């Protein structure tokens, strides 16, 4: 009955795998909750920041600021946010595809790549893209200083006039199981649209221009920070979904294998009985 | 007496949200105090101590720079890169950081010493100590 033993072994191994995927799903679920919390608590700051920026932008000739001026040219850098680890379904692959598609759409020749996350870095490194910066192993808790380091690198490229535009490719967190991979222009910055109604007259100290000067780099930091947080939450969401699918696939497989096993077991019993009967018959 | 709502927000969390009678902070061009019914204002904050005075109590924070906004409804928002409440500050650590920064500044001319960074570290430590010390009085 070698086949029966084989099937039994197979079932055991699938069960083991299922245990692992179930555990990973659980871990991802709790990490997701944390990441979502971080995303949520970052929201007030980002919103207020946008409010203030909107008001200042309405007061100043915003187009004069170096971080806002559009430049002619076809040199672009792409900040691509992926996860450090795999086992999260098509999360990383889809992000990379989005990035590559965006680059192709823009027709950028020799794009510069800044990769956040090991998966993205490895991909672009292997394909000999011009990788000008990478940030990996940021860990579970994304702090604002991480975002600052990344944003500083981006700003550096732009202010030293090495690129004309910087784009950000990241997974927008819609809900735990859905991410919308987005490509947005990071630099030159787009100031948020004014909502039209200009409330009261604001006083800006020292001057609107100076406030803007302080505001823009920080605004960039918060945009990057949000992207990192969304990517973190998205990664865990994707992993949770992938592990859930894996667990239920394992369940199906176990069911199927158990059926086959039982069929084989019954066949062997039947055969034994008929052999016994035949033997008894022969003795008569 | 009217009062106003004040919020201190950092990218990572909302640090303070409360009613108060007065907010004082260090703007880049001097200290400012905000009372209820202030005109709408946006100003750049320098690293410094922020004090929020209530009826009888004071919340003190060390802030690493940012913005202060007074809205038309006289709500005050402080957007800070980092903000620490006075009771969260590790005084011992701040003191050591101050000592280290001073030592480093004492050895200027040494190519390993980054004067600007040391200076910033010193300032940060001193602000922390000031914020923490103010609470103990």
Instruction: Judge whether B41 and B74 are in contact, CB under 8 Å.
Output: no
Q: Tell me which residue in B13, B29, B77 faces A205 most closely, judged by beta carbons.
A: B29
Contacts of B40 in chain A (CB under 8 A): 199-203
Residues belonging to chain A: 284
Q: Which residues of chain B have pLDDT under 70?
A: 1, 108-113, 134-137
A29-238 topology per CATH: Pyruvate Kinase; Chain: A, domain 1 (3.40.1380)
**Domains recognised in chain B with CATH numbers:** 4-86 (2.60.15.10), 90-132 (1.20.5.440)
pLDDT digits (tens, 9 = 90+) for A223-242: 999 999 999 999 999 999 99
**Would the CB atoms of B40 and A199 count as touching at under 8 Å?**
yes
pLDDT of residue A214: 87
Mean pLDDT, residues A69-78 = 86
Structure tokens at A253: 């497989």
Q: Give the pLDDT band of residue A194 (cuts 50, 70, 90).
A: low
pLDDT value at residue B101: 83
Q: Does B45 touch chain A (CB under 8 A)?
A: no
Residue A16: which pLDDT band, with cuts at 50, 70 and 90? Answer: very high
Task: Compute the average pLDDT of residues A140-164.
Answer: 90
- Closest approach of A227 to chain B, Cα-based (Å): 13
pLDDT of residue A200: 63
Q: How far apart are CA A211 and CA B66, in angstroms?
A: 10
Sheet strands (E) in chain B? 4-9, 14-20, 22-27, 30-34, 41-53, 58-70, 76-80, 83-85
Burial class (CB in 10 A: 0-12, 13-18, 19+), A265: middle
**pLDDT score for B137:** 39
- Count CB atoms within 10 A of the CB of residue A56: 24
Q: How confident is the model at residue A270 (pLDDT cuts 50, 70, 90)?
A: very high
Contact between B25 and B48 under an 8 Å Cβ cutoff? The reply is yes
Tokens encoding B134: 């103010």
Q: DSSP 3-state assignment of B2?
A: coil
b/e sequence B78-90, b meaning 16+ C-beta within 10 Å: bbbbbbbbbeebe
| Domain ranges, ordered by start, for chain A | 4-21+243-278, 29-238
- Set of chain A residues whose Cβ sits within 8 Å of the Cβ of B43: 204-206, 211
Is B54 within 8 Å of B48 (Cβ atoms)? no
pTM for the model stands at: 0.85
Q: What is the pLDDT of residues A21-67, one digit of tens each?
A: 999 999 999 999 999 999 988 888 988 888 888 888 777 765 678 88
User: Quick check: A257 pLDDT over 90?
Assistant: yes
Count chain A–chain B contacts defined by CB atoms under 8 A.
76
Q: Which of residues 55-114 of B touch A (CB under 8 A)?
A: 66-67, 69, 72, 77, 79, 81-82
Please say whether the beta carbons of B70 and B5 come within 8 A.
no
Which residues pair with residue A244 across a beta bridge? none
pLDDT at A2: 53
Q: For chain A, what is the mean pLDDT? A: 88
Question: How many angstroms separate the CA atoms of B84 and B132, rounded?
Answer: 10
Active site residue A93: no
User: Cβ separation of A205 and B41 shorter than 8 Å?
Assistant: yes
Flag if B9 and A38 touch (Cβ within 8 Å): no
């Amino acid at each position: 009955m070698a086949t029966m033993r084989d099937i039994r072994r197979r079932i055991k191994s699938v069960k083991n795998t299922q245990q692992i995927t179930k555990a990973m799903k659980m871990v991802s679920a709790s990490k997701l909750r944390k990441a979502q919390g971080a995303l949520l608590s970052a929201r007030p700051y980002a919103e207020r920041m946008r409010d203030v920026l909107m008001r200042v932008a309405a007061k100043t000739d915003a187009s004069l600021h170096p971080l806002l001026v559009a430049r002619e040219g076809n040199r672009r850098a792409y900040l691509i946010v992926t996860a450090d680890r795999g086992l999260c379904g098509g999360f990383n692959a889809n992000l990379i595809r989005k990035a590559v598609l965006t680059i192709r759409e823009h027709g950028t020749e020799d794009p510069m790549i800044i990769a956040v996350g090991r998966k993205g870095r490895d991909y672009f490194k292997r394909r000999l893209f011009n990788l000008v910066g990478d940030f990996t192993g940021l860990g579970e808790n994304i702090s604002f200083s991480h975002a600052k380091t990344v944003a500083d690198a981006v700003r550096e490229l732009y202010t030293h006039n090495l690129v004309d535009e910087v784009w950000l490719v990241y997974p927008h967190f819609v809900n735990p199981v859905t991410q919308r991979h987005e490509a947005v222009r990071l630099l030159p910055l787009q100031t948020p649209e004014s909502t039209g109604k200009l409330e009261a007259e604001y006083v800006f100290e020292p001057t609107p221009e100076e406030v803007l000067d302080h505001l823009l780099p920080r605004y960039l930091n918060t945009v990057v920070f949000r992207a990192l947080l969304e990517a973190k939450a998205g990664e865990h969401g994707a992993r949770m979904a992938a592990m859930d699918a894996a667990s239920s696939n394992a369940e199906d497989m176990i069911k199927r294998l158990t059926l086959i096993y039982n069929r084989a077991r019954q066949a062997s019993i039947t055969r034994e009985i008929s052999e016994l009967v035949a033997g008894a018959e022969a003795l008569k | 007496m009217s009062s106003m709502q004040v919020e201190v927000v950092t990218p990572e969390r909302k640090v303070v949200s409360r009613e108060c009678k007065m907010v004082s902070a260090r703007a880049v061009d001097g200290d400012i105090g905000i009372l209820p019914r202030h005109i709408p204002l946006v100003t750049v904050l320098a690293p410094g101590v922020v004090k929020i005075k209530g009826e009888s109590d004071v919340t003190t924070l060390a802030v690493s720079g940012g913005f202060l906004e007074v809205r038309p409804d006289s709500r005050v928002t402080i957007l800070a890169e980092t903000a620490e409440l006075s009771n969260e500050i590790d005084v011992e650590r701040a003191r050591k950081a101050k000592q280290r920064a001073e030592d480093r500044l004492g050895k200027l001319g040494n190519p390993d010493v980054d004067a600007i960074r040391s200076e910033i570290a010193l300032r940060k430590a001193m602000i922390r100590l000031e914020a923490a010390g103010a609470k103990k009085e």
